[in-house]
């Protein structure tokens, strides 16, 4: 079943976040994930959102997402994202 990783966060250290972002695509090589959206200015059409960035990545299944998210390559760069941002990452199941 397709899953979507949805990250919503606020960037509070641009230099550290940019270091993470510069290496992000390299970690996706060899994994079936596909970046669908990354926006630092999403249009809020209902409710309140206080973040500064939203990211949406598609994977064919949860196991594929976990292999990428728990890979040594991603864990290494994610230290910069975790230190530079505050927010959450949601794993959302697609419809069958």
pLDDT of 96: 86
CATH number at residue 8: 3.30.70.100
Identify the residue whose tokens are 């960037």: 11
Q: Which residues contact 96 (CB under 8 A, 6 or more apart)?
A: 1
Per residue in 18-65, pLDDT (tens digit) is: 999 999 999 999 999 999 999 999 999 999 999 999 999 999 999 999
Number of compact structural domains in the chain: 1
Q: Which domain holds residue 66?
A: 3-41+50-93
Per residue in 52-91, pLDDT (tens digit) is: 999 999 999 999 999 999 999 999 999 999 999 999 999 9
Confidence check: pLDDT of 16 > 90: yes
Is residue 40 within 8 A of residue 83, CB to CB? The reply is no
């Amino acid at each position: 079943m397709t899953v979507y990783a949805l990250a919503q966060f606020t960037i509070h250290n641009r230099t550290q976040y940019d270091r993470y972002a510069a290496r992000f695509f390299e970690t996706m090589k060899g994994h079936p994930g596909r970046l669908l959206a990354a926006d630092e200015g999403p249009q809020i059409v209902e409710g309140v959102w206080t973040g500064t960035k939203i990211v949406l990545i598609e994977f064919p299944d949860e196991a594929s997402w976990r292999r990428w998210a728990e890979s040594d390559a991603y864990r290494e760069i994610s230290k910069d994202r975790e230190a530079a941002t505050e927010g959450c990452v949601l794993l959302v199941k697609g419809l069958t």
